[in-house]
Amino acid sequence: MTDLPGAPVSYWIASTPTTRYDAAPAELDVDVAVLGGGIAGLSTAAALQTRGRSVAVVEAGRIVEGVTGHTTAKVAASHGLLYAYLIDAFGEERARLYADSQQAALDHIVRTTADEGVDCDLVRTPSYVYSEDPAEVETLEREVEAATRLGLPVSLVKDVPLPYDVAGAIRYDDQARFHPRRYLLHLAERIVANGGLVVESTRALDVDEGDPCVVTTDRGVVRARDVVVATHIPFLDRGMFFARQFPKRDYVVAARIDPTHAPDGMFLSTETPTHSVRVTEDGDALLLIVGGEGHTTGRADDTEDRYRRLEAWTTERFGVTDFTHRWSTQDYTSTDRVPFVGRFHPGAKRLWVATAFGAWGMTNGTMSGLLLADLVTGVENPWAGVYDPGRIGPVTTKAKEFVKENVAVAKELVTGYLSPGDVASVDDLAPGEAAVVRTGLSKTAAYRDDDGVLHAVSARCTHLGCVVGWNAAERSWDCPCHGSRFGVDGAVLQGPAVEPLARKDLQSGKT
Ligand SMILES: Cc1cc2nc3c(=O)[nH]c(=O)nc-3n(C[C@H](O)[C@H](O)[C@H](O)COP(=O)(O)OP(=O)(O)OC[C@H]3O[C@@H](n4cnc5c(N)ncnc54)[C@H](O)[C@@H]3O)c2cc1C
Ligand code: FES
């Protein structure tokens, strides 16, 4: 990597203090246990607390260090090319409810920030969805017509404040950008100040649905009348969420930019690969943040090249060279492109879920908090039907792609284990290299670190058994089936897996 910083660290995490909340006690009783301390979990806990519920946020690692700590944090209802599709697929009424709920979430963040004096660099700014391809202009026009019908503040424009030409763009007025960790660390402090609990280093392992529900964690048990699963992808397999949404990994770079050359607004291209652009204040300086180069998790063997391509694109388009941060993360999209927020499964009485935000979790995570606060407290909410996880969605192109993906998953489950390893022996691995090696009847994921020490773990994903692949850019083992990720020591980095990869001792032959 040329001018990029060595280790992937998100700007949001690097520019805020690390939280130090205690782990959960062995036993805990609350009205609502919210599992997961990202934007969905913290927004839900904060909203339920204002309804008089006692809440505990249970976080496996540290709060706001998951996907929310690695986002690009545009707070916008401009979700790519979506609204014409929503009208076609769900009808105008449901499409309007979707649009209303996203605007309401944006307004909620803006209001909370103003009312509570949150220092989170929130700036109102337009958001543009643009194309460089003249053939796409008709699609943009259709989208503007749809979004206008739904009451969104849009217009079709030709001139956008970017240093390169575009064929056309949809401009959404009065959207926002912010520092997601500053906003959410404030919510966490408010929850605790008002008598709620935030616990870290406490992984939820199972939920027994009863009265009360009992959450088993690696620290003990939490008893709660209601449980909200806001762990990004749910870690419980009931509800089959892992088979109804798929993960896409994206890369992000940040570079210093001269304020006089900085683009005024937020931007998302419709081309493939997509590019996402915004700026953020960094003290007296300004950073340009660019995202893109996405792929299905676990299905790219050129992860380092993707950072390089993003760096080259950013330099070519904006003339910046002083790169300060790089990071990557992943989000899930449902087969019908609408998140799942509501009852965990059709028979669930006290178990709730918020997932599949389709890379728009700032508004969707906030909307989840507002919606779930109503559902848990028995208040009717017009958005409920739109996001109902039990809905039968339309058969979309995404759904068809998804059938193909599932065939690929099934194939991976069978052939991943039968095929030979990437290299014949771990002796072939040089320092810094990793590979899947066949060892007898099983497969081993082996990594030799820069000091020559070998780290060997089972290559069989603990979720449903697919064979993991090496992600060189993040030094992790990523599962091509449903997006679980593991460290070189086998520890779970991201679900749906909850168990680590088993360690292997190749020297002694022990596993
Ligand atoms: C590159 C990229 C850029 C993006 N940019 C934008 C953007 O500009 N605007 C926008 O609106 N959205 C954006 N998104 C999407 C948005 O960031 C996500 O949708 C959102 O952050 C997801 O929030 P979450 O709370 O569901 O997940 P997370 O933030 O991942 O929170 C889930 C938490 O649950 C914890 N957890 C997991 N398992 C357990 C367990 N078993 N027990 C306890 N805790 C557990 C995790 O440690 C984690 O902290 C982007 C996504 C990507 C990939
Ligand atoms: S994430 Fe499902 S098998 Fe690995």
Which segment of 177-191, 400-414, 453-467 scores lowest on mean pLDDT? 400-414
Pairing of strands 351-355, 221-229: parallel
The whole-number pLDDT of residue 195 equals 98
CATH 2.102.10.10 domain residues, the chain: 396-511
Per-residue pLDDT at 148 exceeds 80: yes
Task: List ligand 1's pocket residues with C-beta within 6 A.
Answer: 35-41, 58-61, 66-68, 71-74, 203-204, 230-232, 235, 250, 252, 291, 329-331, 357, 359-363, 365, 495, 498
User: Which-ligand-closest: CA of 462?
Assistant: 2
**Which pLDDT band holds residue 401 (cuts at 50, 70, 90)?**
low
What are the φ and ψ backbone dihedral angles of 372, each rounded to 5 degrees?
-65, -35
Residue 7 has pLDDT above 90, yes or no: no
Structure tokens at 212: 């009360």
Containing H/E element for 388?
none
What dotted CATH number matches 121-175+245-331?
3.30.9.10
Q: Decide if pLDDT at 406 tops 80.
A: no
Confidence of residue 444 (pLDDT cuts 50, 70, 90): very high
Please identify, in words, the CATH class of the domain defined by 396-511.
Answer: mainly beta
Q: Which atom of ligand 2 is nearest to the CA of 482?
A: 1
Tell the burial category of 471 from Cβ atoms under 10 Å away from its Cβ (0-12, 13-18, 19+). Answer: buried
| pLDDT of res. 421 | 63
Model pLDDT for residues 21-79, shown as the tens digit of each residue: 999 999 999 999 999 999 999 999 999 999 999 999 999 999 999 999 999 999 999 99
Q: How confident is the model at residue 510 (pLDDT cuts 50, 70, 90)?
A: very low
Q: Whose CA is nearest to atom 19 of ligand 1?
A: 361
Q: Over 90: is that where the pLDDT of 301 sits? A: no
Residue 414: per-residue pLDDT: 58
Give the DSSP per-residue string, 135-179. Answer: GGHHHHHHHHHHHHHTT--EEEES--SSSS--SEEEEEEEEEE--
Q: Ligand 1: which residue has its CA nearest to atom 49?
A: 66
Q: If you average pLDDT over residues 278-298, what whole number do you get?
A: 94
460 CB within 6 A, ligand 2: no
Q: Band of the pLDDT at 400, cuts 50, 70, 90?
A: low
Read off the pLDDT of each residue in 228-243 and give the average, rounded to a whole number.
94
Section 239-254 average pLDDT? 94
Ligand nearest the Cα of residue 477 is 2
What does the pLDDT look like over 418-435, one tens digit per residue? 566 677 788 889 999 999
pLDDT value of position 196 = 98
For residue 127, pLDDT over 80 is answered with yes
> Which residue spans of the chain are classified as CATH 3.30.9.10?
121-175+245-331
User: What CATH topology corresponds to 28-71+181-243+337-388?
Assistant: FAD/NAD(P)-binding domain (3.50.50)
- Give the residue, by CA position, lying nearest to ligand 2 atom 1: 482
Q: Mean pLDDT throughout 140-164?
A: 97
Written as six digits, the tokens of 233 are: 């992808």
CB-based contacts of 148, cutoff 8 Å, min separation 6: 154
Question: Could you give the residue range(s) of every CATH 3.50.50.60 domain in the chain?
Answer: 28-71+181-243+337-388
Residue 229 has what DSSP assignment? E
Going from the Cα of 451 to the center of ligand 1, the distance in angstroms, rounded, reads 33
Which pLDDT score, from 0 to 100, does residue 509 have? 44
Ligand nearest, relative to CA of residue 295: 1
Q: Please answer whether residues 75 and 175 qualify as being in contact, where contact means their C-beta atoms are separated by less than 8 angstroms.
A: yes
Percent residues over pLDDT 90 in the chain: 86
Q: Kindly report the protein residue whose alpha carbon is nearest to atom 38 of ligand 1.
A: 231
Ligand nearest 243 Cα, by number?
2
Sign for the pseudo-dihedral over CA of 254, 256, 261, 263: positive
Which pLDDT does position 405 carry in this prediction? 66
**Residue-wise pLDDT tens digits, 466-479:** 999 999 999 999 99
